[in-house]
A and B are shown apart, each in its own frame.
Chain A
Amino acid sequence: MSPVGERELEICNRVLASVGDRAEAIVQVSTGRHALTRFANSFIHQNVAEDSTEVSLTAVVQGRLATASSTDTSDRGIGRLADGTVTAAGLRPPDPHWPGLAAPGETAEVDHWDQATWAASPVERAAVVRAFVDAGPGTGAAGFCSTDAVVTGLANSAGLSQTGRATVAQLDALARTGTSDGLGAEMSRSLGDLDGGRAGATAAQKARASADPVELDPGHYEVVLEPACVASMLDFLARAGFNAKAHAEGQSFVHLGEAQFDASVNLWSDASDPRTLGVGFDGEGTPHQRLDLVRDGVTVALAHDRRSAAQAGTRSTGHFSGDHAAGPMPTNLFLGSGTQSVDALVGAVERGLLVTDFWYIRFLDPKTQVVTGLTRNGLFLIEGGRVTSAVRNLRFTQSFVGALGPGRVLGLGDDGRLATGDLGALYGWFHHVPTLRLAAWNFTGGAKG
């Protein structure tokens, strides 16, 4: 068997040779298999797969840089990519913030890979879907089961090289009655870990329990937020908060060294943790560093790429987002779990809401982290420590950082797991998070507006 990423690195080196001494260069070559089996109304209606190849080149000519990509790995294609990128770089103004290439150094020792998932067939994905559908008799089913595998190599003209590979298997689906939806979601590096029957039963139970919802007046309610909701919160905190570029621009909520969160909150990024997914380095070749962002409620760090780090006089933490304009973003986030079961969290609530999922969240202002969005896929009223009824979905307008502030986190569940949030579902982000009990959440509208 060839070493991981050997073929991809070989293409990287062909690109570097084609660029020659005309420019500094960094090249990343990724090949992959991506397949997604999608179902609705309890049958598979879309079923797609692709083999992918992408060659991405950044060329830098005296501080002027351009990035280009191609799917063509022929000699002619690589020559065109190199020539075009070098030419484009030379035509634009210099970038005064260009930090230079990463030097050879530490390699990323991360391998979130499952060979069987790389080789998974459409029949195996359909079997997971079959089990999900069968687990919810009397309900409709809609969602997807996917397998993704990527092998990547990265090299630059300063002599750095990295290789990595990763697989991701995901089942994310709803059981549906005529009046309600219930969510069942699982993700892992291995398709074999996904249990369609288990997820389907969870989703069906949620859907049936919320089939006859009551109207509830908007207002401030204590809440128990399940992991999908918490993952959504981290999407926004990570993208616009712990982003060193946004912080330097004054657009982030972060005040380093201040107790901005409840003392029970610990948040960190760690790509090497066996519970997470993905490759171990960023698109600049820097290994993802284990990075504490919040320690016992105190905000202690920002995520950096090489550009933001150079401007701040520090080192990259390996969190280049792929877009210098967007700035760095911490990935592989972990929100520290607690010791309470979800039942215990619910049991401690005198009157509040149990929320399964959020939907369509958008910023009103990134600096305050005030967003608006809606509940989805299971909303329940808690009275006297137990769920008493389903509730029709509500709209909220709420600051995420405010909701997690000092004294606002009343409990953390012992159920930490990988989950995707509202933005994560669009961009492929995931976080390891528990259920949270929070003192208050500002619901601002319901079915009547």
Chain B
Amino acid sequence: MWPAQLRCARAAPGPATAGLGYGARVFDVATAAVEGALAAGARYADARVMTTRTEGMRAQNQVVESLRQDESAGVGVRALIGSSWGFFATPCLDNASARAAGAQAADIARASAMVAGPALELAPVTPAQADWSSAWEEHPLQIPLEAKADLLVGVTRASQDAGASLAGASYAVWDTERWFVSSEDARISQRIVECGAYMEAIAVGDSETQRRSYPGVLGQYGTRGWELVRELDLEGNAVRIAEEAQALLRAPQCPAGTTDLVLGSAQMALQIHESVGHAIELDRILGWEAGLAGTSWLELARLGELRFGSEVMNITADATLPGALGSFGYDDEGTPAQCTDIVRDGRWVGVLSGRDSAALAGVAAGGTVRGDGYSRLPMVRMTNVGMLPGTSSLDEMIAATEDGVYMDANRSWSIDDKRLNCQFGCEIGWEIKGGVLGRMLRNPTYTGIGPQFWASMDLVGNETERRFWGTPHCGKGQPVQTGHTGHPAVPSRFRNVRVGVRG
């Protein structure tokens, strides 16, 4: 009665001890999984052997509260029978277990056919035989733990000494290797190293708390090495955020009303993620995510002509940006990474797609299907969905604003299941009067309806203001998967926005 995995043989060692021939052996495992599915009746199958090493540490008030190092390895296989999919995953990395996993995936696909959908094809992709790796200067798992702990403890000490009630700091590292094989003869190996860090200062008042984070509420992460963390200069910002958190407890509330709104690039990244990135996922548009994540206000029939926002709005989904968190060489269906126009001069022109959804929609495969580990079914995910720069500096935007509010650093985010009605809270705001920043404002919030909000955007930050934000926390799917997404963003101005919503 014991789960089968306790009895599996293990022909393949973990990646940390990988030696010569490891890649060939795990390609054999993936091939066995595909062969198992085909032998059991699949008309198409693919398999990923995947190893993931992660490390994370968090300190609060000069104490390291947690240090985790996790490692997983296994194979996941997809089988397509008729128009029905099945997926099975196992941590057993031997050929016999992989072959059995392929057969189980086919059995599951057969059960799916009890409630079958319409005919399904896969958008064509030239099968690749390739090796790809992200780039790094300092591998983050080779930085001594003592040095990482010193960094986190040190910045929390500085923040606490500057008055923070609670000073927290953390970093996270991922080192992921994939070996992909398909029944169309694709054979791709890929390694992606990612890392980043986060820091916060919380001031606790009698009736509320105020938080300032750096570099943003979601931290900053990329497909880079530890050099990314060094460049963040956590030490140089620890005192400032502590002082701002305390100042917020004393600051006046953001007034309620309708006014012009300037958003910093960190907040713009989340605005883009929630109201553009999710809305353009083709699986949502097709209704496949209706059960949990919801659908989209975008109607496929209007692709190419629907107005998404003002004419200064230009958005791309670019999985090829070096160092950005949503970058890779090939997606988990073997489709090459690419740059896709999403919104051009305010018109909706593109989607995020996979091979099956693209075929149904009649578009080319977008190469955006990715799975969160070997045991999760690859699905449509954001790559680097971001804004192309405009012509204004942040200073010019503020100077051009007679009466408004400047907000940055997200504190709360909520959007409806069609990605229309959004409400965001930011950590900090400043009044703008006569083109000059004035008083600090606490609890700033704004709300709007997606296309009207984007239609009100009239100034877009220039190339100098552009930052490639990355967030590793995007939840989607059932079972829920966590995706790593990138968002190039610039400060932008919006006219006549409702601000100051409170409970």
Residues on A close to B: CB < 8 A?
Answer: 1-2, 7, 31-34, 36-53, 65-74, 76-77, 80-81, 84-85, 88-89, 91-93, 95-97, 118, 121-123, 125-127, 129-130, 133, 140, 142-144, 146, 151, 172-174, 176, 181, 249-251, 323-325, 359-368, 370-374, 376, 393, 395, 397-399, 402, 425-426, 442, 444-449
Contact flag A398-B207 (CB < 8 Å), given A49-B108, A66-B67, A93-B149: no
A127 to B114, CA, bound (A): 8
By the criterion CB–CB under 8 Å, are B290 and A373 in contact? no
By the criterion CB–CB under 8 Å, are A364 and B443 in contact? yes
Query: Which residue of A48, A67, A76, A393 has the most chain B CB atoms within 10 A of its CB atom?
Result: A48
Give chain A nearest CB distance to B428 CB in angstroms.
14
Query: Which residue of A43, A71, A72, A395 has the most chain B CB atoms within 10 A of its CB atom?
Result: A71
Name the contact of B69 in the complex, choosing from A88, A133, A372, A398 (C-beta under 8 A).
A88
Q: Interface with A: B302-310, B330-338, B474-482, which one?
A: B474-482
Name the contact of B10 in the complex, choosing from A74, A361, A363 (C-beta under 8 A).
A74
Q: Interface with A: B24-32, B311-319, B361-369, B410-418, which one?
A: B410-418
CB interface residues, B 119-139, toward A, < 8 Å: none
By the criterion CB–CB under 8 Å, are A373 and B414 in contact? yes
By the criterion CB–CB under 8 Å, are B287 and A126 in contact? no
Name the contact of A126 in the complex, choosing from B17, B112, B166, B445 (C-beta under 8 A).
B112
Name the contact of B208 in the complex, choosing from A41, A118, A127, A365 (C-beta under 8 A).
A365
Interface membership of B202, Cβ < 8 A: yes
By the criterion CB–CB under 8 Å, are A47 and B84 in contact? yes
By the criterion CB–CB under 8 Å, are B70 and A68 in contact? yes
CB-defined interface of B8-25 with A at 8 Å, one 1/0 digit per residue? 001001101100000000
By the criterion CB–CB under 8 Å, are B67 and A88 in contact? yes
Name the contact of B90 in the complex, choosing from A50, A77, A371 (C-beta under 8 A).
A50
Q: Interface with A: B173-181, B220-228, B235-243, B446-454, which one?
A: B446-454
By the criterion CB–CB under 8 Å, are A53 and B412 in contact? no
A360 to B375, CA, bound (A): 26
Residue of B nearest to A403 (CB): B503
Name the contact of B479 in the complex, choosing from A34, A76, A143, A368 (C-beta under 8 A).
A34
Query: Which residue of A32, A42, A444 has the most chain B CB atoms within 10 A of its CB atom?
Result: A444
Give chain B nearest CB distance to A72 CB in angstroms.
6
A93 to B147, CA, bound (A): 11
Would you list the 3 A-B pairs with minimal beta carbon distance, nearest first? A43-B117, A122-B111, A370-B503
Q: 20 A-B residue contacts at CB 8 Å?
A: A36-B479, A44-B112, A44-B115, A47-B85, A47-B111, A47-B112, A48-B87, A49-B87, A71-B73, A80-B14, A91-B149, A118-B1, A122-B86, A126-B112, A181-B290, A325-B60, A325-B66, A325-B170, A372-B503, A445-B421
By the criterion CB–CB under 8 Å, are B414 and A45 in contact? no
Give chain A nearest CB distance to B261 CB in angstroms.
13
By the criterion CB–CB under 8 Å, are B115 and A41 in contact? no
CB-defined interface of B79-90 with A at 8 Å, one 1/0 digit per residue? 000001111111
Give chain B nearest CB distance to A449 CB in angstroms.
5
CB-defined interface of B234-266 with A at 8 Å, one 1/0 digit per residue? 000000000000000000000000000000000
By the criterion CB–CB under 8 Å, are A363 and B412 in contact? yes
By the criterion CB–CB under 8 Å, are A395 and B423 in contact? yes
Contact flag A367-B208 (CB < 8 Å), given A325-B66, A372-B423: yes
Residue of B nearest to A149 (CB): B3
Name the contact of B117 in the complex, choosing from A36, A41, A172, A393 (C-beta under 8 A).
A41
Residues of B within 8 A of A449 (CB): 421, 447-449, 452, 498
By the criterion CB–CB under 8 Å, are B449 and A324 in contact? no
CB interface residues, B 200-221, toward A, < 8 Å: 202, 204, 207-209
Residue of A nearest to B289 (CB): A40
Residues of A within 8 A of B375 (CB): 50, 52
Residues of B within 8 A of A133 (CB): 115
Residues of B within 8 A of A151 (CB): 2-3
A76 to B17, CA, bound (A): 10
Give chain A nearest CB distance to B295 CB in angstroms.
9
Name the contact of A40 in the complex, choosing from B17, B69, B288 (C-beta under 8 A).
B288
Interface membership of B165, Cβ < 8 A: yes
Name the contact of B5 in the complex, choosing from A52, A127, A144, A366 (C-beta under 8 A).
A52
Give chain B nearest CB distance to A206 CB in angstroms.
15
By the criterion CB–CB under 8 Å, are B413 and A362 in contact? yes
Residue of A nearest to B204 (CB): A250
By the criterion CB–CB under 8 Å, are A376 and B71 in contact? no
Name the contact of A51 in the complex, choosing from B4, B10, B425 (C-beta under 8 A).
B4
By the criterion CB–CB under 8 Å, are B209 and A366 in contact? yes
Interface membership of B153, Cβ < 8 A: yes
Contact flag A361-B414 (CB < 8 Å), given A92-B146, A173-B291: yes
Residues of A within 8 A of B480 (CB): 425-426
Name the contact of A45 in the complex, choosing from B168, B288, B292, B415 (C-beta under 8 A).
B288
Contact flag A68-B87 (CB < 8 Å), given A43-B116, A365-B209: no
Interface membership of B72, Cβ < 8 A: yes
By the criterion CB–CB under 8 Å, are A48 and B88 in contact? yes
Residue of B nearest to A181 (CB): B290
Name the contact of A368 in the complex, choosing from B58, B208, B412 (C-beta under 8 A).
B208
A250 to B61, CA, bound (A): 14
By the criterion CB–CB under 8 Å, are B88 and A395 in contact? no
By the criterion CB–CB under 8 Å, are A66 and B5 in contact? no
By the criterion CB–CB under 8 Å, are A69 and B108 in contact? no
Interface membership of B63, Cβ < 8 A: yes
Residue of A nearest to B109 (CB): A47
Interface membership of B39, Cβ < 8 A: no
CB-defined interface of B460-503 with A at 8 Å, one 1/0 digit per residue? 00000000000000010011100000000000000000100111
By the criterion CB–CB under 8 Å, are A325 and B58 in contact? yes
Give chain A nearest CB distance to B215 CB in angstroms.
20
Interface membership of B104, Cβ < 8 A: yes
By the criterion CB–CB under 8 Å, are B412 and A70 in contact? no
